Each structure stands twice: as structure tokens, then as C-alpha cells.
Amino acid sequence: AQKITQTQPGMFVQEKEAVTLDCTYDTSDQSYGLFWYKQPSSGEMIFLIYQGSYDEQNATEGRYSLNFQKARKSANLVISASQLGDSAMYFCAMRGAGGTSYGKLTFGQGTILTVHP
Amino acid sequence: DGGITQSPKYLFRKEGQNVTLSCEQNLNHDAMYWYRQDPGQGLRLIYYSQIVNDFQKGDIAEGYSVSREKKESFPLTVTSAQKNPTAFYLCASSIGKGFTETQYFGPGTRLLVL
């Protein structure tokens, strides 16, 4: 079984500053993928960034980077230079390697990020 | 433009009524998914389909049914057997396989019971 834990129900950050959203995971799979999604108030889930368990480098996509610490089973999202439009719910998710080629994502409970001007 | 569309944006259901949520994608993705999201919660998998005419139950399939007659379409029916259907429903399709599979989501449908 896989589990994702996001311990921060809400986070606040000043515009233009960096913020880290925490995510820890638990899995018995040797190969797995970790994902972050953004959900603004409109409801759509927007894919942000992916990290594979065998990737040696931390993933980066523009202002988003994933701080992957495999031994600690953590996959924190770092948002640099926060913008007002970054205010949203953020979900960490995992896709294991077991079973068929396709399968579900396991989601955490989410963190609400509020960016102050 | 390629993407995933869901309709309607809002749907109202009366007691004892079946309702169908639409999901269409023109991304040529093989796999499609339905998730349910309750307020302040993460997503839970209802059903998924890897190929046309085949689908598998997810974690909370009771009270729901699906079909996959075309690659582009994966409609979800919320039946009268689903006693607590009020939720936000998200459809997704995916690219890649195994642990590199990445799912992309539609804009969602909010279902409310009258």
C-alpha cells in the first residue's frame, strides 16, 4: 500500500519570496513516481512537476523544483519568487510501479497556499 | 487545442435519479480515469480504463458505472445506489506507463443533490 502525507494544512508566504510545501511518502515499491498538482479555486488539477525514484537530479520546471530526499522518503515542492496567482491548494501524489501499466495516483490531503501582497 | 473536457460544469440530481457525467479527450491517450473529491480532501479513484471496452474498479466504485466505447470518451454514471453523491468529480487521461505515467485532468463537474 502507498501513502502520502502532507502535514501542512495551510501555508502563508509573502509575494516574491520562496516557499516549501512538505510531502512524505511510504511505499514498498522500488520504482515509483512522485507528482505535484496545483488546484486553484476553479477546481481544475494542474500538473506541475514529476520526479522518478531513480532520477539522481532534483526535478525543476520554471519556478517549481522538487527537493527529493529518497532516504527520508520526502518530496518537497519549492516555489521560488511566489506570485499572487500561486494561491491555491497543492497536492502531492505517487504512482507505484506495481500491477498493470496503468494505475491510480495516491494523493495526499493537500496544502492550501496563500500568497500575500 | 488538445485537452480534456468535462460537462456539465454543475449537475443537480434528484433522489433516486441516475445522472451521467461526460468526459472527452483529444490527446490520443490510452488510459482514462474518474476520481471523486470531497471538500478539503484529496482525490479517490472510482474507475479507470486502459483500453476501449475494458475498465477496472477503483477504490470507491460502488454506486457508479462507466463505459468506454470510444478511445476519446469515458462517461461516468452516478446511480441511485450512490447514497452520498455530492462531490467534485474529476476525469483524467494519461501518457506514459508504469511509474512514469503522468495523468492530466479535466476541469471537473460539481454534482449536487436536490
Are A92 and A34 spatial neighbours (Cβ–Cβ below 8 Å)?
yes
- Give percent above pLDDT 70 in chain B: 98
Provide the pLDDT for residue A100.
55
Which stretches of chain A score pLDDT less than 70? 97-102
Query: What are the DSSP calls for B17-62, one per residue?
Result: --EEEEEEE-S--SEEEEEEE-TT--EEEEEEESSTT--EE-TT-T
| Closest CA of chain B from A64, distance in Å | 17
**How confident is the model over B24-77, as pLDDT tens digits?**
999 999 999 999 999 888 899 999 999 999 999 999 999 999 999 999 999 999
- Is the CB of A47 less than 8 angstroms away from the CB of B58? no
Instruction: Give me the amino acid identity at A42.
Output: S
Position B113 confidence tier, pLDDT thresholds 50, 70, 90: confident
Interface A:B, Cβ pairs < 8 A: 76
| Closest CA of chain A from B83, distance in Å | 23
Position B16 confidence tier, pLDDT thresholds 50, 70, 90: confident
Most A CBs within 10 Å, among B32, B99, B102, B111, to test the A interface = B99
Q: All 3 cell numbers of residue A61? A: 520546471
Chain A contacts of B43, Cβ < 8 Å?
45, 91, 105, 107
Cα separation, B10 vs A107, whole angstroms: 24
| Closest CA of chain A from B79, distance in Å | 22
- Is the CB of B105 less than 8 angstroms away from the CB of A107? no
Closest-CA residue to A106 (of B106, B6, B5, B35)? B35
Are B102 and A46 spatial neighbours (Cβ–Cβ below 8 Å)?
no
Residue B66 backbone phi and psi in degrees, to 5: -140, 170
Provide the pLDDT for residue A61.
95
Closest-CA residue to B36 (of B93, B94, B103, B86)? B86
Provide the pLDDT for residue B114.
82
Provide the pLDDT for residue B98.
79
Chain B contacts of A104, Cβ < 8 Å?
33, 45, 48, 58-59
Provide the pLDDT for residue A101.
52
Position B1 confidence tier, pLDDT thresholds 50, 70, 90: low
Classify burial at B60, counting beta carbons within 10 Å of its beta carbon; exposed 0-12, middle 13-18, buried 19 or more: middle
Closest-CA residue to A22 (of A84, A82, A73, A63)? A73
Please state whether A63 falls in left (phi above 0), alpha (psi between -120 and 50) or beta.
Answer: alpha
